Structures are given as structure tokens and as C-alpha cells.
Amino acid sequence: MVRDPPVSRRATLRLLGGAGAAAATTGLASADGEGDDRQRYNVGYDRASGKRAARGRADSVAHEFAFDALTIEADEEAARGLQRRNDVRYVEEDGEMEALGETLPWGIDRTDADVAHSNGDTGDGVDVAIIDTGIDHDHPDLAGNLGDGKAFVTTTELGAPAWEDDNGHGTHCAGTADALDDSEGVIGVSTTAVLHAVKVLGSLGTGSTSDVARGIEYTADQGWEVASLSLGGGASSTLKEACEYAASKGVTLVAAAGNDGPCTDCVGYPAAYSECIAVSATNKDDQLADFSSQGPEVEIAAPGADVYSTYDGDSYETLSGTSMACPHVSGAAAQAIANGASSRSEVRSALKNNAEDIGLTSNEGGAGLLDVATMLGYDSSDDGTGDGGGDGGGGLLG
């Protein structure tokens, strides 16, 4: 798996907490001869005399709170004097905070899925099976879109559903396909499709060919429209027949091409089977990612390098791989179905006929780069960027 050092939302919050502690401590940094600098301080007092002292030492009073505190402008010498008083509870520098809002991942922006959202297209109600390591069942960016789940391997997470993600990979893919548009975390290609966790890979990100085949069969038997397969391994007749079975039931199968690049003819399985839409990965420069497999089976390309999405433990991570490209197309397939595509062939045509030519060869990118807005009939000129296994068995393509 090709992976940058992960940057999770949890880690980001820890860093912000550390910065906040340094900026807003109740102690004051050494002045080093610069005690005449004016700045803002928050002063908490417990008696009226403390309030009078703060006002008396202030150059100006910026705000008086309804509780026992006020914000003043003063020099550091005055602040230190206030801190020594027994009628003053604290003196702290007036620190800085920042908004923690929703992030638009660059791949969602680059494929213009956000243009679709702004026009009301969100993949509403379409069933998308994430056939992977499971999905974090209570992740705040996913829980509202979760439907049913099924486990073909045992989770290591105690007290959680049998299909709970104990690796993180499946949750990451789920977020790219269909994270909620809820003003926090990230946003998916679709935002109101129904996610189903089909757990076929264990905590190490590996599983048997038969379990992957069972997961595909199960998805077809449920009547779910899209199967997202960010995994791969060796060729298998059982896997091939499972894909044929699902295709006969109308399932749109989307699969990661593989991470064996640079190469010229190395698309893995199940992506290489004709029943699947094989997806290669691009980077922020619209180039084929150096890890991406390529070959004549590739049908479309999607962002796969440095993709920020949901992760296990209610967190967020940046990962790279054709695994990250695949759910962009899975979410777009849901968008096409919600917009009226009524068969696998119509979904396939909608995705490929509206792809953007970014100069990749057909072996590298198939029809071109995924373009959700154009596929749905919207202006796709907004092309800027946002933020930011083994043979014989199944393994995730990280």
C-alpha cells in the first residue's frame, strides 16, 4: 500500500490543543526586556476589587463579560502585577482560535462532484456496498448514511457490529464514496446514498478469495446497485464467476486497478474482469500516479494520491492508492443511477462518455478522468483543487 504519513483529524486536534495551551496559558511567558508591549489579556476576578484593579491597570477595556471576567489591553508588566493579586483568579493572553469546518477533499473538487451537490444531485437512496474491511459504524460523517452490513470475517472490535472496520481502509473508501454533507469532516462524491458494509477483509487488510466472492454474491442477492471493490489478488475462477453472477443481477461493479506501477500491462483482479469497471489513479497534477497499475482493462481514472477521508475510530486520514480512486467512481455510479441510469451499461456509458481528457493514454486512464458534473449535465469548468494482497487471495489496494 502506498501511504503518506497519516494526518488524522484526531491528530490535528491534538496539535491545535497544544498550540492553544501555549497561547492561552494562565501563566505569562518571560518578557525578556519587552514588558512594555501592549496586547490583549483575559482577566478573571473573584471580587470587585480585582475587577477595579484590572480596569485601573488597563490601557483600555475591550469587553466585560456577564461572568466575572473582562478583556483588557495592557502591557506585560501590568498583567504580571494583576496575576500576583489574590483577588484575581487568572490572567491569560487572548489567544487565537480557528474554525473547524468541513473539508472539501481535492478529489471531490477535481471531479466536480461539488458542482453536482450544489445543483441538488447527491446520489440519494442508491445502495452502495463497500466490499472491504468494514465501516466504522458510528463515524459522525458516515453513520447517517449507513444501511445494512454483513461480515464474512470476524472483527476484532468488541461490542461493535460484526462488520465493524478494524483496519480503517473500508471506512476511508466509504467516506470518499458517500460522506455526509454536514458542515464537518469531509464530503463524498455522493452524500445521501446508502452505504452497506460487506466485510470480507480482516484487521490486517487481507482475506480469502472465497470470502470476497461471497461478499460479491451477497451484494447481488440484496439487490444493491453498486459494489465498490478496493481490493485485489490473483486470478480466480470463483471470483470471476461471482462477478458474472453480480453483473447478471444488475450490479455495477467498480474495482481498483492495482498498485503495481509503474508498469504497462498489470491490472489486477477482479478489476481485470470485463464485468468490472477498472479504475486507475491520478495525482494532483493530473498525471497517472506512479504506483497505479495500467493496461487495456482500465476504463476510467480518478484521484488516488493523497486522498483525505474518513477513517476508523471516528478519525480522518490521508491515504494513497487505486483503492482511493475506486470509491470516487463508485460514488459517481450512484449519482448516475439516481439521475436515471437504469442499467449497468447505462451507468458505464455515463461514466466513460463524460470523462475528461487530461492527456493520459488509454492504458493509463481509459476514457479519461472522472467528471461528475459533466456526467449529470452541469458546467464542468471548475477544475481547481480543494484542500486537501497476495496471489490466490484478496488484499486491499491501499
Q: Could you give the residue numbers annotated as active site?
A: 132, 169, 323
Q: Helix (H, G, I), strand (E, B), or coil: what is residue 314?
A: coil
Give CA–CA dist 347/288, Å, rounded: 24
Give CA–CA dist 252/88, Å, rounded: 67
Cell, residue 100: 473547524
Scanning the structure block, which residue is given the C-alpha cell 447505462?
346
Instruction: Report residue 216 CA to chain centroid gap.
Output: 24
Give CA–CA dist 48/301, Å, rounded: 68
Residue 32 region by backbone torsions, left for phi larger than 0, else alpha for psi between -120 and 50, else beta: left
Give CA–CA dist 267/298, Å, rounded: 7
Instruction: Report residue 36 CA to chain centroid gap.
Output: 47
Give CA–CA dist 271/252, Å, rounded: 12
Measured distance between the N- and C-terminal CA atoms of the chain, rounded to whole angstroms: 4
Whole-Å CA distances, 84 to 38, 65, 109, 138: 19, 22, 53, 48
Give CA–CA dist 109/115, Å, rounded: 8
Give CA–CA dist 363/112, Å, rounded: 23
Give CA–CA dist 217/21, Å, rounded: 53
